[in-house]
Structures are given as C-alpha cells and as structure tokens.
Structure 1
Amino acid sequence: MNNYPESCLRVGQIAPDFTATAVVNRQFQKVKLSSYRKYVVLFFYPLDFTFVCPTELIAFSDRYAEFEALNTEILGISVDSEFSHLAWIETERKMGGLGDLNYPLVSDLKKEISTAYNVLDPDLGAALRGLFIIDRVGVLQHATINNLSFGRSVDETLRVLQAIQHVQANPNEVCPADWQPGSQTMIPNPIESKVYFGRSLSS
C-alpha cells in the first residue's frame, strides 16, 4: 500500500513511499522506495520518446558510477508504462532511444507517484521535471522542479548531494553558496562564522 502525505510535500519530511514496476536491466521488477537503505536521486520526466528527456536520462546513466560511489541510487520515473520504457531502452541512442540504462526506470501509469510529489501537470497529464534527493533514512533533503523545455544538470545534482552528505556527516557545519567538496565550510554562529567571511569575502 502506498503511503502518501495529505499535505503539500516539503523538504524535511519523509519522502512519499511507493511500490511500482520498473525496468531494470531490460527486465520488469517491482521496486520500493523505502527498501533503498542509501541516498536516492528520484527524478521525474514528462514522457518517453521525446526530445530533452533522453538527454537527461542518458547523462545520469553515463555518470552512474559517480553516484554509486556516493552510496546513492538513481530512479527515473514517468507516467509511461513499463512496456513503453522497455521499448525506449531497446531503441538505439542514435534513433532517440536510451540504450541500456544503469538505473531503474519506474512506471507511474496511474499518476499516483507524480501526484504525491506534486509534479503532475494536470493539463499535460504528465510530470514536470522534478528532481528530489532523499537521504538514507527516507527524509527529503532537496527538491527542484523545471518546466518542460529545459533539462537538468548532473554536475549540480552531484554537488548538492555531496553538500547534503557533508553536513550530515559534520552537523556543526553548513555549506555556503557554490560549495564544492574540499572547499571551506562555515560554523553557523555569529562569532565563528566570521572566520569564513574573513577568509573568503575579504579583498
């Protein structure tokens, strides 16, 4: 049974759980969000066999090893059926297909999951480009939603994921704007924060 919240979804909440059919290594499998005891990048896209969508799905697949090294699973999801997903995966990339993907492609044919994550466009009948980062205990840590015409950045997704993992491992620190792994963080109090400001913002 799916467990969807009644109120509007917000970061800091437990991410809506779901069980759904996905294409995994060209096979149909049931996947359950809460079974992943790791970080999850869950991203919605409008429809199979479209134009911006394959560029995003392929980009995340080609860099899957970088997410795997961060103890993170990727789940792609749209309102298409698992049969459509499989057909798209079995289509060559040069023909607008996906080829093999390194992560599950989930079917949300009943549109329950996209509704729960508040990305369903009722006029289109499909999802906007929502991307959510969920931590190891199922808490939603990051959410972005793009309109249909422009794709997302794998680099930025990785950067945000690394920032989340850093502050969870170092709860006395926060990450300033454009933080990158290895760069300076900040201690969030009025006195110690001046160390950061004094070093990074002085000229």
Structure 2
Amino acid sequence: MSLINSVVKPFSVNAYQQGKFLTVTDEDLKGKWSVIVFYPGDFTFVCPTELEDLAGIYEEFQAIGCEVYGASTDSHFAHKAWHETSEAVGKVQYALLADMTQELSRNFEVLIEDAGQALRGSFVIDPEGKIRTVEVHDNGIGRNATDLLRRVKAAQYIDAHPGEVCPAKWEEGAETLTPSLELVGKI
C-alpha cells in the first residue's frame, strides 16, 4: 500500500541539531511543510555527501516554509560525534533524528529489518501531516537535494492551485497543466 496521502504516524525521537539535543515528534511537522530524509548510517560514505548537499540549500528550503530532517537508526550521540568530526556533516544545520527503536523507519516503510538500517528514503510532508511525495533508493545510489527542493515546490504549487498539475521537469514559474477533456490527446 502506498504511503502517498497517508498521515504520518505518531512518533517521538531524540535528535541532534546545532550543538543541542532535542526531541522531535510528529506534532513538530504540523503547520509547515517538512522533508524527512532517511539514510543508512552515520560514519558511512554516500550519506555525508547527501547531507552536505541538503545543507548547501537548507536556506532555500526554509525560504519556502519547509523544514528538513535527516534520520537514521543511529543515536543522537553518534549524530553529535559525526557532526563534530566530518567536514561535510559539520555543515548540517537541520535536525538529525535518532531512530534507535527503528519505529520511524518502519512507519515510513524504509527499514531493512535484518540490517537495522534505513534505505535512502525522502518524504515530502504537507502542513496537515500528509505524505505528498515518496522517493526510495537503493543504498548505493545518492540523491539530489535540488530535485527534492523542486518536488517540494511542485507539491506546494498543486496544493495552492487545485485542479492544476505539474508536468515532467516542472520548475517554479513554469507552465502547469489543467487536465480536461479538451486536453486529452493534445500533449
């Protein structure tokens, strides 16, 4: 069953963000757009490149009212140590969620049970807590933060413009489509 348009299940996890430990819950996602980016583990190889890529455009996510969360099954203590020792991860200003019980990864259907790690899953969540986009990769394939930002903008656009849809490669400001009988067979 698809997670699209399902509401994020209740959760509460420890997190590390900018020198502090905090608790993040499903309630923190409400009232704003959010992105949760699951990754396999701290002190790995592809993961820091993805987190650094997100860190490089984090301000752009914030500018459109979207909060970013990284998540793995590591502890918030490991997140802190990784943040302090990795040049790439040291650039991260968004919260790193510690899914030590693996409940969050399981709820988002990205947990690799026998490994105790998450797949590379990216989820765009609307202000009501509904999952609007899902992208899941094999752990050897890194993601592109710019495309994730584009997908957030597309989700925000169709949310604000019911009846319109965003075609392939849609970018902010580009034309959209309004599905209708007259449009059938004309694309």
Q: TM-score range by the shorter chain?
A: over 0.9
CA-to-partner distance for each residue in 1:126-151, whole Å, 9 max, x for gaps? 00001100001111100011011011
Contact 1:9 1:117 in 2 (8 A): no
Structure 2: tracts of 5 or more residues without a match: none
For residues 98-133 of structure 1, what are the alpha-carbon distances to aligned partners after superposition, in whole Å with 9 as ceiling and x for unaligned?
Answer: 114210001011111101111011222200001100
Give the aligned length.
186
Contact 1:133 1:143 in 2 (8 A): yes
Query: Equivalent of 1:111, from 98, 102, 117?
Result: 102
2:154 pairs with 1:163: yes
Return the match for 1:12 from 5, 15, 18: 5
Give the structure-2-normalised TM-score.
0.94
Say whether 1:66 aligns with 2:57: no
- Whether the 8 Å contact between 2:3 and 2:108 is mirrored in structure 1 is no
Identical aligned residues as a percent: 37
Residue 33 of structure 1: which of 19, 26, 33 is its match?
26
> Which of 122, 127, 131 is equivalent to 2:122?
131
Tell me the distance in 1 between the aligned counterparts of 2:128 and 2:47. 29
Structure 1 distance, partners of 2:150, 2:123, is 13
- Secondary structure, aligned partner of 2:136: strand
| More contact order relative to length (CA 8 Å, sep ≥ 6) | 2
Cα RMSD of the aligned pairs, angstroms, is 1.6
Q: Which 4+ runs in 1 deviate beyond 3 A? A: none
Q: Name the CA distance, whole Å, in 2 between partners of 1:154 and 1:141.
A: 17
Q: Which residue of 2 aligns with 1:76?
A: 70
Gaps of 5+ in 1: 1-7
Higher mean C-alpha deviation, range 120-129 or range 41-50:
120-129
Aligned 8 A contact 1:41 1:75 in 2: yes
Cα distance in structure 1, aligned partners of 2:23 and 2:82: 19
Match of 1:3 in 2: none
TM-score by length of 1: 0.87
Assess if the C-alpha contact under 8 Å between 1:61 and 1:101 holds in 2: yes
Distance 1:49 1:153 in 2: 20
Q: Which has the larger radius of gyration?
A: 1
Q: Choose the corresponding residue for 1:188, options 179, 184, 187.
A: 179
